[in-house]
Every structure is written in structure tokens, then in C-alpha cells.
């Protein structure tokens, strides 16, 4: 549920912005094709970037990580 006045992170926004070589290769494949899924598996099991890099990218771009109160 988006917070009014804010935008949510879009799928692979980070990967596209940092020009990840795996993402660049994905861009050349037809979505859902066998080749696409093969390359996509790299993202799932062997991402070339760290969570730390992603976290700092989010901060630099002004993203907030929020959760509802319990």
C-alpha cells in the first residue's frame, strides 16, 4: 500500500540504474523466454551486488523503508 505523496520502488530499478551486466543482458532477452529465465536465475542465486550497496543506493535516492506499527 503506497504512502500518499511517495512512490514505491519499481522492480529492478536499482539494477537498471547501476547498469548491472546481468540486467543489461536480461534487457536483450524476450521476457519469460527460456533464455530470459536462465539469465534471471543469476539474479536469484548469484547477484553481483551486495545488500549494503542496494541499501545505500536506496538512501541516496531518497527511499524510505517503512513497516506498519504492531
User: pLDDT, tens digit, for every residue of 4-30?
Assistant: 899 899 999 999 999 999 999 999 999
Number of folded domains in the chain? 1
**What is the span of the domain harbouring residue 17?**
13-60
Is position 51 within any domain? yes
What is the CB neighbour count within 10 angstroms for residue 42? 16
Q: Is residue 68's pLDDT more than 90? A: no
Is position 27 within any domain? yes
Q: Is residue 1's pLDDT more than 80? A: no
Asked if 55 contacts 63 with a C-beta cutoff of 8 angstroms, the reply is no
pLDDT confidence bin for 2, thresholds 50/70/90? confident
- Name the burial class of residue 43, with classes exposed (0-12), middle (13-18) and buried (19+) by CB atoms within 10 angstroms of its CB: middle
Amino acid at each position: 500500500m503506497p504512502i500518499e505523496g511517495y512512490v514505491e520502488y519499481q522492480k529492478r530499478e536499482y539494477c537498471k540504474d547501476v547498469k548491472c551486466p546481468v540486467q543489461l543482458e536480461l534487457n536483450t532477452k524476450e521476457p519469460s523466454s527460456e533464455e530470459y529465465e536462465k539469465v534471471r536465475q543469476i539474479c536469484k542465486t548469484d547477484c553481483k551486488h551486495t545488500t549494503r550497496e542496494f541499501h545505500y543506493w536506496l538512501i541516496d535516492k531518497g527511499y524510505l523503508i517503512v513497516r506498519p506499527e504492531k
